[in-house]
Chain A
Amino acid sequence: MVELAWLIPLLPLVAAVVIAFLGKRLPGQGDRIGIAAISMAFVLSVGVLVGVMNGGTAAGSVTWAIHGDLVLRMGWEVGGIGAVMLVVVTLVSLMVHVFSLEYMKGDVRYQRYYGVLSLFTFSMLGLVLADNLLLLFIFWELVGLCSFLLIGHWYEDLDNVRAANKAFLTTRVGDVGMFIGIMLLFSQAGSFRFDEIAAAVAAGDVAGWALAAGAILLFAGAVGKSAQFPLHVWLPDAMAGPTPASALIHAATMVAAGVYLVARAFGIFEPSDAAMSVVAWIGAITALFAATIGVVMEDIKRVLAYSTISQLGFMVAALGVGGYTAAMFHLMTHAFFKALLFLASGSVIHATGTQNMHEMGGLFKKLPITGWTWLIGAGALIGIPPLSGFFSKEEILIDAYAANPAIFWVLVAAAALTAFYTTRATYLTFFGAPRDRAAYEKAHEGGMVMTYPLIILGALAAVTGFLAGPFADLVYYGHPHRAEFNTFVFGVATVVWVAGVLLALAIYKFNLVSRRRLIQAFYPIWMLLKRRYYIDDLYNLVFVRGTIGLAMVMAWIDRTIVDGIVNGVAWATRKLSGFIGEFDLGVVDGAVNGIAGAFVVGSRLFRRVQTGLFQSYALVLFLGLVAGLVILVIGG
């Protein structure tokens, strides 16, 4: 079974092509083709996982390009980490495919939506299987393209288009770094393959500075894709896409790619202390920073968006402190519980028609299945034992505590905020009195295709934590490592989550503190958070406007100076060769109208010269011959 792993990405690719070209003529515009393909891919992935757990591995490659004597091969490879990712990606994608049957029913571009979902799944699966940096980068960009298409799904509204552009461009900035990093590592190690670069590093063939620089540049790509500070800005806006697509983008695919890259290339990161510190600190800062913003958001999807950024920060920080297994374990549990939360929020939005939590309230009675599954997902996110998130987050905290206490305490603070904002979102949405009576009255649970994915993901979010043992035996770097239970870490984690939950309940349920008074008391901080630390505004001013301004300057230089010289030379030539009279007029024109005048004169010249085209041609050739003889004499 393991040697069939290369088939797994091809199934959704075939589905995407079929949907694109034949969707119009197929029942359900091809949605069933997509679901059939992803189901088969899932079954195969499970088979591959079982095979890998029994010690199997497989790889294959084809020649892609030859430069001189250098043969570049493109290949796939599946081991522990890859097998787990295959299952996670196909499973979450399958749930999203099924859920969308009802959520996207009647959409203007239903066919395109399913086509892109399949293409997205293909790209992510290809990324997981790639055995070298270049192929990974190729799929990496395709993942970016697909998320661009999904975020801009409703492109009639230019706000959605801007969100899609922002996602593509922000991640592209990171990708430029990654691109340079790939070239640097290639120039040092002579290969794009993960294993060969790692071997070159181990053999000391890669200079220390190049290793650190290469790893950090690769990490820039991960910072973009996994929405880490300072390239996190695209992710909250990406909520403009359809909610099930958000579940796919923000749980198992796009954002997971960055974390996966660091793990896959761990043989490049791990030997460099500098790179590892950068990774750890970026992750920790992101975890805390995003959680603070999550506290003040009113849009349910934006809370989840910042929560995603924050949780990705946990994973990245874990990688930075060497917690390879813990990071990947959290990636898996997070994929399930965050997909669940996104789909549950989709169910809420589908039922109420709003994303603003202040217009919700009391929905638990109306949406019991959504409510219960949300509670499981929220519990997992907070890290309440024995839900899955508890185990994975605990492992991260234990590894961080052992490696770097400063990182540990930053993550603890983020965990406290996580508990607070999750409880807040849960309470505002599902409990208390309904604040929008009309929306409340018409709200009802979706059909089976919406509730079953919730129930399945709910079950996974609840129990996957118990797989920590087998997971650690399968996914590791170097030798199997499982974080030892640590009473102190457990105690701290428990205290902070309980405190976070209680504080949120105190404010939102028991009204012990007036929210308005709180906002007034902390107004500058509240405003800072509301405006997302003004980072988006700053980027807009410096990078977007700066680049456009620079472009305008360049275009001006091109038009007036570079082309002005050309026209000026033409103008001067005309005068010298005495083709035409009207000498004075030309001078006057030029003097009065300046550069614009030169342009006009230039064009007039060209028009005049046309009449004597072939004479002038002969003249130029003759002059050329003369000049040639002169050069001969000089150079002779």
Chain B
Amino acid sequence: MLLSALLFIPLLGGLLVAFFPKERTREIKSFALIVSLIPLALVLAVWRQLDFSLPGIQLLERAEWIPSLGITYQLGVDGISFPLIAVAAVVLPLAILASFNIEHRVKEFFVWMLVLQTGIYGVFLALDYFLFFIFFEVSLVPMYFIIGIWGGERREYAAMKFFIYTLVGSAIMLVGILALYFGSGLEPRTFDVLVLAEQANLSPTLQWWVFLAFFAGFAVKVPIFPFHTWLPDAHVEAPTGGSMILAGVLLKMGTYGFFRFMLPTFPDAAKAFSPVLATLGIIGIVYGALAAMAQKDVKKMVAYSSVSHMGYVVLGLAAMTPMALNGAMFVNVSHGLISPLFFFMVGNVIYERTGTRMMDQMGGVFSSAPLVGAVTAFTAFANLGLPGLAGFPGEFFTFAGAFPVFTAFVIIGALGLAVTAGYHLWMMQRVLMGQPVALAVQKDLVGREVLVAAPLMALVLLLGVLPGIALNLFNEPLAVLAARLGGM
């Protein structure tokens, strides 16, 4: 019941918010925050019950749903989904807290934020393709409205682009799911993820096609170059709470798809495809970093840096060694903490105070608002992979793990590290240093903002110093996965 409670409490909370009088905005905000904290408590309870030395699914909850079609309501967690659920449980309440300054159509906003949460938890918990696909789509709709209604100037374009792009991807994936369902050779037919991963017997040709169909769905979500152009638009236009969830959680649905579905179910196709995947990953790393460097809009810069960082995950997935998979998963977690913090600082704190996202109109934040400067600098250093903070271990393990497999790519990617340092330093020079300018940030961080930033900073530091805390969660299942993939 624990997992079902975790899954549906936000939805229930959202429904309850719908009954609030819409002018009681303070109550709506507080209630939404409290509801979103319940899953965090449940995640801690789940943590206590899980045994991370076991590779398999635990806490399985299963009920027949549409038996005639082989559809079940099936939830479960393991070391692969748990860290992402935990990151979501931390980031989602903070995104709600960060959105307390929303003044326009407050009730609707928080309803969507809570509905979105159920969609997110559902994606990471569902172990039935039919159920999974529903949540995968459910998570799309609230975000469409969050961007489209509460976004910036070009919000409609960005929201539509995000929606249609993801939709086309997931429609192709749906084709793949159906092909897997019909082509698995299992009797009776089933949508059960675990059974299909273990027993599906697809012809090589079909495995290849289904793999590509899944790839279309998840590649858009990650996003993998060249399917990434919705991301800068969506991030820039989304309200800060939306950007935090997009970067911190939604992108991870894409990479999660590789870990949970694609590599275990289509190992042969995945291995055959891995050079292509590695190529796209390395292009994402370098290209994303260079594109980030060219941006004048600070939010866009952070958005492109996400493209670059997700490239590490893709590279690690392609390499398929235990260390590379661990590194990729670790980047999922660390980016899930760092990027929301970054979007919060540039979107909520700096943009709200200056009214501009253009870096050449900023300057001197360090002098006029030292805490804002310090937290932004901390975040930038975490994002550029400074050792001691959470950005480093994932990068390092991904590269070191991929080095024996894709040596040349890793060397190119390592050169990208210099570019990454470059654009972060340049950003700090333009935004934080120098004399305060006319549009300067005048007010330093206030209590609510400290409450958003502090937990993320603490976790970023903790995982940077002791990466084992996260690695121990997923080392075992990923080691098993790597072995299944032939221990490349």
In the bound assembly, the distance between CA atoms of A162 and B428 in angstroms comes to 11
Q: Which of A151-159, A416-424, A469-477 contacts B (4 or more CB under 8 A)?
A: A151-159
Smallest CB separation, B228 vs chain A (Å): 8
Contacts A169-B418, A606-B164 hold; do A628 and B287 have CB atoms under 8 A apart? no
Contacts A161-B429, A165-B425 hold; do A138 and B291 have CB atoms under 8 A apart? no
Smallest CB separation, A196 vs chain B (Å): 16
User: Is B171 touching A65 in the complex (CB atoms < 8 A)?
Assistant: no
Q: Does A478 contact B (CB under 8 A)?
A: no
User: Is B421 touching A145 in the complex (CB atoms < 8 A)?
Assistant: no
Q: Does B183 contact A (CB under 8 A)?
A: yes
- Tell me which of B156, B209, B323, B393 contacts A70 (CB under 8 A): B323
In the bound assembly, the distance between CA atoms of A480 and B108 in angstroms comes to 77
Q: Using an 8 Å CB-CB cutoff, how does the interface string of B237-263 with A read, 1 for contact, 0 for none?
A: 000000000000000000000000000
Q: Which of chain A's residues have a CB closer than 8 A to the CB of B387?
A: 137-139, 141-142
Smallest CB separation, B139 vs chain A (Å): 14
User: Is B400 touching A625 in the complex (CB atoms < 8 A)?
Assistant: no
In the bound assembly, the distance between CA atoms of A169 and B423 in angstroms comes to 10
Q: Which of chain A's residues have a CB closer than 8 A to the CB of B163?
A: 613
Smallest CB separation, A547 vs chain B (Å): 6
Q: Which of chain A's residues have a CB closer than 8 A to the CB of B434?
A: 155-158, 161
Smallest CB separation, B427 vs chain A (Å): 11
User: Is B205 touching A183 in the complex (CB atoms < 8 A)?
Assistant: no
Smallest CB separation, A183 vs chain B (Å): 4
- Tell me which of A562, A563, A610, A624 contacts B172 (CB under 8 A): A624
Interface residues of B in 385-441 (CB under 8 A from A): 386-388, 392-393, 396-397, 399-401, 403-404, 410-411, 414-415, 417-419, 421-423, 425-426, 429, 432-435
User: Is B429 touching A180 in the complex (CB atoms < 8 A)?
Assistant: no
User: Is A620 touching B294 in the complex (CB atoms < 8 A)?
Assistant: no
Q: Does A172 contact B (CB under 8 A)?
A: yes
- Tell me which of B168, B178, B429 contacts A165 (CB under 8 A): B429
User: Is B381 touching A145 in the complex (CB atoms < 8 A)?
Assistant: yes
User: Is A625 touching B178 in the complex (CB atoms < 8 A)?
Assistant: yes
User: Is A67 touching B401 in the complex (CB atoms < 8 A)?
Assistant: yes
Q: Which of chain B's residues have a CB closer than 8 A to the CB of A156?
A: 364, 367, 433-435
Q: Does A521 contact B (CB under 8 A)?
A: no
Q: Does B471 contact A (CB under 8 A)?
A: yes
Q: Which of chain B's residues have a CB closer than 8 A to the CB of A554?
A: 287, 290-291, 294
Q: Using an 8 Å CB-CB cutoff, how does the interface string of A194-222 with B read, 1 for contact, 0 for none?
A: 00000000000000000000000000000
Interface residues of A in 556-613 (CB under 8 A from B): 556, 558, 562-563, 565-566, 570, 602-603, 606-607, 609-610, 613
Q: Which of B164, B401, B479 has the most CB of A within 10 A?
A: B164
Q: Does B175 contact A (CB under 8 A)?
A: yes
Interface residues of A in 463-506 (CB under 8 A from B): none
User: Is B417 touching A172 in the complex (CB atoms < 8 A)?
Assistant: yes
User: Is A635 touching B183 in the complex (CB atoms < 8 A)?
Assistant: yes
User: Is B322 touching A68 in the complex (CB atoms < 8 A)?
Assistant: yes
Contacts A165-B426, A606-B157, A607-B156 hold; do A635 and B287 have CB atoms under 8 A apart? no
User: Is B175 touching A631 in the complex (CB atoms < 8 A)?
Assistant: yes
Q: Which of chain B's residues have a CB closer than 8 A to the CB of A610?
A: 148, 156, 160
Q: Does B376 contact A (CB under 8 A)?
A: no
User: Is B165 touching A566 in the complex (CB atoms < 8 A)?
Assistant: yes
Smallest CB separation, B307 vs chain A (Å): 9
Q: Does A552 contact B (CB under 8 A)?
A: yes
User: Is B425 touching A183 in the complex (CB atoms < 8 A)?
Assistant: no
Contact-size category for A: 35 or more
How many positions in chain B have a CB within 8 Å of any CB in the partner chain?
81
User: Is A176 touching B418 in the complex (CB atoms < 8 A)?
Assistant: yes
Q: Which of A138, A558, A620 has the most CB of B within 10 A?
A: A558
Q: Using an 8 Å CB-CB cutoff, how does the interface string of B184-212 with A read, 1 for contact, 0 for none?
A: 00000000000000000001011001000
Q: Which of chain B's residues have a CB closer than 8 A to the CB of A162?
A: 429
User: Is B290 touching A555 in the complex (CB atoms < 8 A)?
Assistant: yes
In the bound assembly, the distance between CA atoms of A139 and B466 in angstroms comes to 15
Q: Does A527 contact B (CB under 8 A)?
A: no
Q: Which of chain B's residues have a CB closer than 8 A to the CB of A620?
A: 167-168, 171
User: Is B388 touching A138 in the complex (CB atoms < 8 A)?
Assistant: yes
In the bound assembly, the distance between CA atoms of A550 and B287 in angstroms comes to 10
- Tell me which of A65, A70, A183 contacts B467 (CB under 8 A): A65
- Tell me which of B403, B415, B472 contacts A176 (CB under 8 A): B415
User: Is A141 touching B386 in the complex (CB atoms < 8 A)?
Assistant: yes
User: Is A168 touching B433 in the complex (CB atoms < 8 A)?
Assistant: no
Q: Does A538 contact B (CB under 8 A)?
A: no
- Smallest Cβ-Cβ distance to A544: which chain B residue: B422
Q: Which of chain A's residues have a CB closer than 8 A to the CB of B417?
A: 172, 175-176, 179
Q: Return the 10 tightest CB-CB contacts between A and B, nearest first.
A: A606-B160, A68-B322, A555-B294, A635-B206, A628-B175, A138-B387, A551-B293, A624-B171, A563-B229, A551-B294
Further 15 A-B residue pairs, CB within 8 A, beyond A155-B366, A180-B414: A65-B397, A65-B468, A66-B472, A142-B387, A158-B429, A158-B433, A186-B400, A558-B287, A562-B225, A603-B156, A610-B156, A616-B164, A620-B171, A627-B172, A628-B178
Show 27 residue pairs from A and B whose CB-CB distance is below 8 angstroms, ordered by the A residue: A67-B475, A68-B475, A70-B323, A141-B386, A141-B392, A156-B433, A156-B434, A161-B429, A162-B429, A176-B415, A179-B399, A183-B399, A183-B400, A187-B400, A547-B293, A551-B290, A551-B419, A562-B229, A603-B157, A610-B156, A624-B171, A624-B174, A628-B175, A628-B178, A631-B175, A635-B205, A636-B206
Binding site for B on A (CB under 8 A): 63-70, 134, 137-139, 141-142, 145, 152, 155-158, 161-162, 165, 168-169, 172-173, 175-176, 179-180, 182-184, 186-187, 547-548, 550-552, 554-556, 558, 562-563, 565-566, 570, 602-603, 606-607, 609-610, 613, 616-617, 620-621, 623-625, 627-628, 631-632, 634-636
Binding site for A on B (CB under 8 A): 148, 154, 156-157, 160-161, 163-165, 167-168, 171-172, 174-176, 178-179, 182-183, 203, 205-206, 209, 213, 225-226, 228-230, 287, 290-295, 322-323, 326, 364, 366-367, 381, 386-388, 392-393, 396-397, 399-401, 403-404, 410-411, 414-415, 417-419, 421-423, 425-426, 429, 432-435, 466-468, 471-472, 475, 479, 482
